[in-house]
Amino acid sequence: MRRSYIVFCILFFLAGCSTADVNTHQIEQPDTAAANLDKVIADPPVQEAAPDAAAGTDGSLTARDENIAYINRKLSFTLEFPAAWREYYNIYERENGIDIYFIGQSQTSKYVDEEQPSVQGLYFFSIATEASIEEDREFLDGVTEIGGVNGTAFVAYSATDCSICILVEEETDTVEHARMQSDWEQASRMSEEKEHVLQSFRAYSVEEDE
């Protein structure tokens, strides 16, 4: 897990160390394959995230139509995740962005780093303010601007190390291997759909809650 540990160290540094506002979300039902919940929008009626989903203070997750809407009020942006991602990802909120982790059925995909025990899963990709990553840009992969909020540019990126690739790199017992193979197939599909999530990035205004 040494490569994953390196990735977490970098992400932890970007979070501003002890100043980071950290919350983890796991949806109730819910770089690439080769690389935080309060008031819910009520118009039109939506299905609120299940009570057993982790609750935070800045973000919201709601089911609307066939997508899952995520609202980050602190950073004033929204995203939409495909319904097929339900149960397969966690969102880890930081001071200047969010990290998305893949979590499947295998024990390998439910990895918990000793340095950041509140985070579970295999690192998938991140969205953050461009200014917050400048010092560590050389350690990141696929940095792409996806939009702006009140003059602040936001980018998406992943790590140069492919964390989810461990699903096909580790040899395990038969049962776990089958689960890892299934998780790899799911993660691969999610990788193909990631661009749709990034394209859904929109600036968010509190007036939308009223």
Give the closest residue to 197 by CA, choosing from 110, 92, 127, 133. Answer: 127
Q: How far apart are CA 106 and CA 125, in angstroms?
A: 20
Q: Which residues pair with 63 in a beta bridge?
A: 47, 68
Q: Provide the whole-model pTM.
A: 0.68
Tens digit of each residue's pLDDT (9 = 90 or more) over 48-78:
333 333 333 355 555 555 799 999 999 999 9
| Cis-peptide into 44, omega within 30 deg | yes
For 6-54, how does the pLDDT look when each residue is reduced to its tens digit (9 = 90+)?
Answer: 444 444 444 444 343 434 444 333 333 333 333 333 333 333 333 333 3
Three-state DSSP at 36 gives coil
The residues near 112 (Cβ < 8 Å, ≥ 6 apart) are 119, 120
Contacts of 50 (CB under 8 A, 6+ apart): 28, 29
Name the residue ranges covered by the structural domains of the chain: 2-209
The secondary structure element, H or E, covering residue 97 is strand 97-102
Write down how long the chain is.
210
